[in-house]
Amino acid sequence: MDKKPTQTKSPASAKGTRSEELSVKTPNVGEFAFGKENYRLMLIGLAIIVAGFLLMVGGGSTDPNTFNPEIFSFRRITLAPILILTGYVVEIFAIMKKPKD
């Protein structure tokens, strides 16, 4: 009885076939990292932040010897910081949101 030698694949050829089987997604060159909705949400967040800072402006006095209690108004102490923090949360959400393909 003649025994025929069995063919074995070399590790290099096995690696080649394995890499052919695995499909690796490569990022398309020239595509933006964010989608249209991400940019829209970023602009909304930026507008909220700017509105918060604009609400915080003012309340000063032209005379340094007089006190203006307007500096401690609800708008400057509570509302404006809440708007600014909300704007930052919207910005983080806009960055983390996965764009639609």
- In the numeric block, the tokens 């509570």 are attached to 78
pTM: 0.67
Q: What is the pLDDT of residues 27-83, one digit of tens each?
A: 666 677 888 999 999 999 999 999 999 999 987 778 888 888 888 899 999 999 999
3-state helix, strand, coil in the chain (%, to 5): 60, 0, 40
Q: 91: which residues sit within 8 A by CB, 6+ positions away?
A: 42, 45, 46, 49
Each domain of the chain, given as residue ranges in start order, spans 37-101
Per-residue pLDDT band at 90 (split at 50, 70, 90) = very high
- In the numeric block, the tokens 């829209």 are attached to 40
